[in-house]
Amino acid sequence: MITNSSINPIEDIRKALERGAEIILVKVDAKNYVKVSLEIIKYFTSIAEGIYVTLNKPYFSLKKMFLKEEININRLIFIDCLTRQLGGQEVDTDRCIYLNSPDPIQLQVAIERAMDLITADNRFIYIDSLSTLALYKSFETLIKFLRHIIGKIRLRGFIGTIFTLEREMDESYYSQISLLCDEIIEA
């Protein structure tokens, strides 16, 4: 596993992919969170089709933001863990799978369903964010979920990018999670 600290996370991701990385953990500080996240999604949608798992923002808000940033949302299937929880309106149901909560079982089923919808040769899954998921479940449950999802990502030929905020979880958690990843990028 390789760890990179960088001011250019896209270049680090590009190099990681060239080295054969399949699972990349991106740790970012809060002030760069939105900027780095948008850069990564813009990069991935320029080279692949993918799945965006959102635990922080409802699909409607992401769609607006992505369109403003000229991110091709037609190359994405969204999994929204927030809209139903907040009683929001479900739109674009052909493009977005809405869940009642970020329950790991529901999330696993939704991710596998979304994987079946991605037919491109180059494909990715982007999980935003691990630190939010950690708020809902115990660390043991989180690790079991990650082991299962990462195994599916590898077996199905996807590139996995797991986004998380620095210092949002105990450092020992990051140590365990890093064992599941091929590369860690700190932005």
Domains and CATH numbers, the chain: 20-179 (3.40.50.300)
**Type and span of the H or E element at 134:** helix 130-136
Measure CA of the first residue to CA of the last residue in the chain; give whole Å: 17
Dihedral-angle region of residue 185 (phi above 0 means left; psi in -120 to 50 means alpha; beta otherwise): beta
Tokens of 161: 């990018």
Query: Does the pLDDT at position 57 exceed 60?
Result: yes
Residue-wise pLDDT for 67-77, tens only, equals 999 999 999 99
Percent of the chain exceeding pLDDT 70 equals: 96
Given a contact cutoff of 8 angstroms between Cβ atoms, the answer to whether 19 and 181 are in contact is no
User: 36, 34, 4, 32: which is closest to 17 by C-alpha?
Assistant: 4
pLDDT computed for residue 4 by the predictor? 58
- Residue 68 φ/ψ, nearest 5 degrees: -60, -35
pTM of the model: 0.93
81-96 per-residue burial string, b: 16 or more CB within 10 A, e: under 16: bbbeeeeeeeeeeeeb
